[in-house]
Chain A
Amino acid sequence: MQLAEISSVSLAFLGSGGAGVISTGELLLEAACKNGWYGLLTRSVGPQIRGGEAAAMLRLATQPVDCHADRFDLLVAVDWLNAQRFALEMPLGPRTIALCDPESGAVPEFVRAAGVRVIELPLKAMTAANPEWRPNMIALGAALRVLGLPEDAARAAIENRFGDKGAAVIVASLAAVKGGADAVESGVLPARLPAPAASGTARWRISGNQAVGLGAVRGGVRFAAAYPITPATEILEWLALNLAKVGGALVQAEDELASINMIIGGSYAGAPSITATSGPGLSLMVEGIGLATAAEVPIVVVDVMRGGPSTGIPTKSEQSDLNIALYGMHGDAPHIVVAPQSVSDCVFTAQWATYLAEAMQIPVLLLSDQFMGQAHAAIDRPADVAFVGQRRIARDIAGTYRRYSLNGPNVTAMALPGTPGGQYTADGLSHSERGTPSSAASDHRAQLDKRANKVHEFDFGDHWATLHGSGEIAVLTWGSVTGAVLEGIALARTDGIDVRVIAPRLLLPAQPERMAAALGGVRELIVIEQSHGAQFYRYLRAHYHLPRNVRVVNSAGPLPLRPGDIYRELTAERAA
């Protein structure tokens, strides 16, 4: 059966690294978005910095999209180097067309096997005749024509990108785009991109990593310490540039052990502080996060998850750092774990994370992933929210200052260096109310209680999860998989299957009462996650009462889940 009406068009540019296919994808996304469409661009690259295989995968749509579609409508190959490696990442079908140059090698097996219609695009001949044309610009023009966009649509994007390379480069690029457009016929693509609906709201083009940086700064972050790691580096690079605009600073650290401790020092000194890393770096930071719990120093730690364990797949996505985020620390170490659900949600969740850290003087881990972190998307401008970090600060201190006082609220006022009478030693050792090291059972237990209670007492409000739909079948999912789940249940709904979706944004502390209410009346539960070890399912089992009838879809990375995968999960058993 037909899964869904086409409301989007999906295409990929393929080529060897350095051929410029990623920037071609970015130019097309910008061109389409400037002309009113929405879109999502992800990239898939090998481990090589230059010379490996690369693909820019785009989905253009008339509404915001948070996942890729079930198959690609158009493949534009600048060359076919190592393209076979994309076989699993690039679902194709008889409705797909491929534009490629017969002179750049044989069409790969996975493309031929899918029954793709191959249309010739003589890139080599065209660049031989016009030496100043770049093959990727020709490919861009051809894609515009096939998609039904005027080649002039890319003019602003090209002028913007190549502005500092001089007029000659812009002229040559525009000529190559025109040449590429004229080399193919419009109307060859079975899929159509409907005209964009007029939208009154402001729209952004942003990556998930940029969105995390922006959200954190909105939430009050003014200090970052940075150690580069794929796929988190863009957060740090964005912060380096933008913290400097708002009176903040970023320091590059010598390793992740340093970066986590630097932000603990910066936050102790009074600045809301952040670092960003991926799995291997998080492993190194865990001891420091425990210190921040014990010393009650607010910090935000972003983990842009990639395939693991160990070095894993640095350039590709997985949801397999949930366990370490939840349970990584030794001792009983209350902390917060949150996860955004889309590129757009990265803005909100990072802002909220900063607010939560400051409000509870606690470490907050934000679990993003490579898929949404490095995706570029056109989104509606996220709403402004009021979550700005407000730390309880001790001022005008009279008498003995008790940093970890047990008389009064569990979130205790923090003295900042320089405040007379507030001198105390923040300590990772078990300590008394004053912070004095103590191995007494009474002090240990009292401070464990204090740190646990300040989290239990906190009202996290409605932002703990996003809830969609109703019905006796529910899907529980999290993170970037949520986008595919929502599209999948929309497909199921056209079959009359009503599915409810519960996607917790707050993973720790668990919210048993809220979850019980969200699961009320559910007969059948499907847990969907991107982890080989079913980490999310095991977490749910540990913290929540689940319906008896539970099915788990634990699909390892790095392949993204697609709406059709979800739809089949929802319909397969019932059809059988």
Chain B
Amino acid sequence: MSAEPKPAYKASDFKSDIAPIWCPGCGDYHVLLSITRALAQLGKPPEQVAIVSGIGCSSRIPAYTNCYGFHGVHGRALPIATGLKVIRPDQTVIVTTGDGDGYSIGGNHFLHACRRNLDLTMIVMDNHIYGMTKGQPSPTTEPDLDTALTPGGTGLRPFNPLVIALASGANFVARAFAGNIGQTTSIIVDAVTHPGFSFVEILSPCVTFRPDQRSWKTQVHPAPVDATDDPARAARRIMTDDGFNLGVLYRGNRQPYTPKFGGSGCDLSELEREFEL
């Protein structure tokens, strides 16, 4: 048996010594494991990876990794990641967020990050609920979910983040399920490797406030067809599927955004010339 080259990193190399605060059984444990396994497979050292988040259960991830991290304010992970990536394009930058942080308070940044198409990966742990504030509806919550904040349900149709990502210009769209660690890991590797803005929605059950989501593991199934590079076709598939198709659903070929950094040779005194009388 020929010896495979030993991988440079193990998943544990990307984990910090901080114990997560999540509830036992939370899907986010699996997402954290998938991210660290994906990073080990990608083979860059931890200091060349930055993980940026906002506020919420899923946004706790940066400190649980051994990478550079930024745990910012609610909804603003994408702008922080944008500034970071613009200044340090050599870094692998991953945004970890949830359906409240990423789609509600941070919804405008979601649209524009897709449109801007910087080489980032956005991982959304979607559990259709605000978990950290103890069970309020998010933009992906079903209309009839009875909560203390919305007795009898919101009566509002949940939106479809994957279609919004497509319409806004994301260059890679995938759906994963937290419990499928192997598939989620390979989707994250794929997303990080794909140029431009990659969007990965991970169904990550909240066992505390959405115990009904325990059934997700029996509902999910692989997408029946391979990813397309046609956003219209991808959108039609996503809008007509049952919401549990897993896999890479769209793989675009838009050129990533690269900000125009000028040369560094200009002497500062040259900037004064336009003012001279």
Q: Which residues of B sit under 8 angstroms from A89, Cβ to Cβ?
A: none
| A420-463 CB contacts (< 8 Å) to partner B | 420-429, 435-437
Considering only CB atoms, which chain A residue lies closest to B82 in the complex? A262
- Does B67 have its Cβ within 8 Å of any Cβ on chain A? yes
Distance in angstroms from B62 CB to nearest chain A CB is 5
Q: Which of A245, A255, A270, A273 contacts B271 (CB 8 A)?
A: A245
B259: interface (CB < 8 Å): yes
Q: From A204, A288, A425, name the one whose CB has the most chain B CB atoms within 10 angstroms.
A: A425
Which of A266, A295, A421: most chain B Cβ within 10 A?
A266
Nearest opposing residue in chain B for A253, CB measure:
B79
A270 to B91, CA, bound (A): 12
B112 to chain A, nearest CB (A): 4
Q: Which of B87, B112, B259 has the most CB of A within 10 A?
A: B87
Q: Which residues of A contact B62 (CB under 8 A)?
A: 425
The minimal Cβ–Cβ distance linking B97 to chain A, given in whole angstroms, is 13
Q: Is B76 engaged at the interface, CB distance under 8 Å to the other chain?
A: yes
- Majority secondary structure, A binding face: mixed
Interface assignment of B72: CB less than 8 Å from any CB of chain A: yes
A251 neighbours in B (Cβ, 8 Å)? 82-83, 86, 259
Docked complex Cα distance between A245 and B265 (Å): 8
A425 touches B70 (CB 8 A): yes
Evaluate contact between A426 and B275: CB separation under 8 angstroms.
Answer: no
Chain A residues lying within 8 Å of B236, measured Cβ to Cβ, are none
Bound Cα distance from A428 to B53, whole angstroms? 11
Nearest CB of A to B19, in Å: 11
- Residues on A with C-beta less than 8 A from B63 are 425, 427, 435-437
Q: Which of B43-51, B152-160, B210-218 contacts A (4 or more CB under 8 A)?
A: B43-51
Give chain B residues whose Cβ lies under 8 Å from the Cβ of A253: 79, 112
Q: Is B254 at the interface (CB under 8 A from chain A)?
A: no
The answer to the question of A244 belonging to the interface, with a C-beta cut-off of 8 Å to chain B, is yes
Among A217, A265, A415, A418, contact of B52 (Cβ-Cβ < 8 Å): A265
Closest to A419 in B: B47
Known: A258-B76, A425-B69. A247 touches B277 (CB 8 A): no
Against B, the Cβ 8 Å flags (1 = close, 0 = not) of A203-229 are: 111100010001001100001010000
Measured CB to CB, the closest approach of chain B to A161, in angstroms, equals 13
* Nearest neighbor of B108 in chain A, beta-carbon distance: A254
Give CA–CA (A459, B271) in the complex, Å. 30
B residues less than 8 Å from A262 (CB atoms): 79-80, 82-83, 86
Task: Give 9 closest A-B pairs by Cβ, nearest first.
Answer: A265-B83, A247-B264, A425-B69, A244-B262, A261-B79, A266-B83, A265-B80, A204-B275, A269-B87
Q: Besides the contacts A202-B277, A262-B80, what 9 more A-B pairs have beta carbons closer than 8 Å?
A: A203-B277, A244-B260, A244-B261, A249-B262, A257-B79, A262-B82, A265-B86, A288-B76, A426-B72
B residues apposed to A, CB below 8 Å: 18, 45-48, 50, 52, 60, 62-63, 66-73, 75-76, 78-88, 90-91, 108-109, 111-112, 259-264, 266, 268, 270-272, 275-277
